[in-house]
Chain A
Amino acid sequence: TQLLEQSPQFLSIQEGENLTVYCNSSSVFSSLQWYRQEPGEGPVLLVTVVTGGEVKKLKRLTFQFGDARKDSSLHITAAQTGDTGLYLCAGEKETSGSRLTFGEGTQLTVNP
């Protein structure tokens, strides 16, 4: 059983379109992070959300943490080819002892 479920698993869109990626769980997390990974490289942190209902913006990317701190979403406005990559959500539970649990990722391809 995957603790963090990401959807969709794959997404292929045209440049300029908007998209939303979801990260859902039945567990409560003290913090949740989003990473982006490009081929042949390690994941790079985009954002951390820690408060239920929190919304953070990073240029064209908007991240939201659910009110109950069980889910999160990543919305990209006017996608660009440079947004192509694997998007991973990762959560830390208060009882996890400094360990993160990762979702399986969403592979995003933005076509020119």
Chain B
Amino acid sequence: NAGVTQTPKFRILKIGQSMTLQCTQDMNHNYMYWYRQDPGMGLKLIYYSVGAGITDKGEVPNGYNVSRSTTEDFPLRLELAAPSQTSVYFCASRGGRSYNEQFFGPGTRLTVL
């Protein structure tokens, strides 16, 4: 199993541009999450999904959108990039039987200039 994979690994955007961060998991997990990690700030939840077709906002959803058309994929969309969105983005998944033990992807480092 590849686990949780994310693409791209790095990206530089100009202010106002848009992009989609891709996330795929091959563990047949129902729950998936998007976090951002800023220096010294831990992980903040952006959006999460408890299954295909179901998504919900986390702590910091403004400026982002998600969709969950399949169990495997959970893309994160930035519509109008802003410097405040410069961060490292992590996707994670969780199986249904565990105590919310999450498996993380390697991250996408995004810079908005």
Contacts and interface: CB of A to CB of B under 8 A. Distances in A.
A92 B100 contact: yes
A43 B104 contact: yes
Interface of B is mostly: strand
Nearest to B109: A40
Nearest to B44: A102
Interface string A16-57: 000000000000001101000000111111001010000000
B53 interface: no
B100 A31 contact: yes
Given A88-B42, A98-B31, A48 B99 contact: yes
B66 to A, nearest CB: 14
A43 B94 CA distance: 13
A40 to B, nearest CB: 7
A42 B107 contact: yes
B100 A44 contact: no
A66 interface: no
A40 B106 contact: yes
A65 to B, nearest CB: 12
B102 A100 contact: yes
B42 A105 contact: yes
Interface string B3-36: 0100000000000000000000000000101010
B50 A48 contact: no
A36 B1 CA distance: 21
A102 B37 CA distance: 10
A41 B45 contact: no
A42 B100 contact: no
Contacts of A30: 99
Nearest to A91: B100
Contacts of B45: 99-100
Interface of B: 4, 31, 33, 35, 40-45, 48, 50, 56, 58, 90, 92, 94, 98-107
